[in-house]
Amino acid sequence: MPELPEVETVRRGLAEVMEGIAIVDVGIHRSDLRRQVPKCLGHAVRGGVLTEIRRRAKYLELFLDNGNVILVHLGMSGRMLIDRKNSNIQPQSKHEHITFLMGNSNAIRFSDPRRFGLVDLCKADGLENHPLLKKLGAEPLTDAFDGRCVARLLKGRKTSIKSALLNQHIIAGLGNIYVCEALWMARLSPRREASTVRGKRAETLAKAIKIVLTDAIAAGGSTLRDHLSPGGSLGYFQHSFKVYGRDNEPCPSCRRRLVRIQQSGRSSFFCPSCQT
């Protein structure tokens, strides 16, 4: 599933060609995604100017000048691809479910072979209370996200730090790849109890999370399976992985072999020597 860097990469790519442009037409070719696409979507957004695209956790929020917001989640295999100067409302691929035709003659095509993604509609003044957004945790790329914030979020939590960081109600947008990478950078074992990460450990972890996410965004995210930027290019951060997917390889720091364990059905990759 695309994580925060992949979604941020998509947001930036779409913003370049959608912000300030009117949505001329909408084609809904299939509506039975993870959530049913609202029947009123086309009527509600047609003719509206897209003023801004934001990201909240792994969601894209497309704001229109008429007060509506298009909410998009890419699921496991979703893509928002830019089809330049092709204002054809008809789907151009088997798994294209929604087409947005823009006033600059570009088409934005939402495709999703597995249909775990979603496209929803809500009002801007009610966005924070949307059932998919209202319980999301802290955004890790904000100024407020620091060691004190991390310590407060993890206080009293008896679960592993790996499980806590994957909990979207605690910190929003993190997935398995970047949690593994951040824990290695912070020298914290994924098995460590979350409540013990405070003080200097919390400060180091907060910085590591920001560094890993920022570097991944700069590389266009990680393409392991389905992720492409809106322009169709791959992400390259997978070439910079320090631990993820590298079990039995030498640790980049101490050269001991990296290990892989299972935690709550997810694979954790770490160095048993460096990470404690």
**So what's the pLDDT on residue 86?**
85
Q: How many CB atoms lie within 10 A of CB 147?
A: 18
**So what's the pLDDT on residue 60?**
96
Q: Distance (Å, rounded) from C-alpha 100 to C-alpha 219?
A: 27
The predicted model scores a pTM of: 0.91
Q: Distance (Å, rounded) from C-alpha 257 to C-alpha 65?
A: 54
**So what's the pLDDT on residue 239?**
53
For residues 49 and 116, is the Cβ–Cβ distance under 8 A? no
Catalytic residues, which ones?
2-3, 58, 266
DSSP, res 70: E
Among the four given CATH numbers 3.90.660.10, 1.10.8.50, 3.30.420.40, 1.10.10.60, the one describing domain 147-270: 1.10.8.50
Calculate ∠ Cα 78-80-83, nearest 5°. 135
Domain ranges of the chain: 4-126, 147-270
Q: How many CB atoms lie within 10 A of CB 122?
A: 21
Tens-digit pLDDT profile for the chain (276 aa)?
688 988 998 999 899 999 999 999 999 999 999 999 999 999 999 999 999 999 999 999 999 999 999 999 999 888 899 999 888 999 999 999 999 999 999 999 999 999 999 999 999 999 999 999 999 999 999 999 999 999 999 999 999 999 999 999 999 999 999 999 999 999 999 999 999 999 999 999 999 999 999 998 887 766 445 555 566 654 545 557 899 999 999 999 999 999 999 998 899 999 999 999
CATH topology of domain 4-126: N-terminal domain of MutM-like DNA repair proteins (3.20.190)
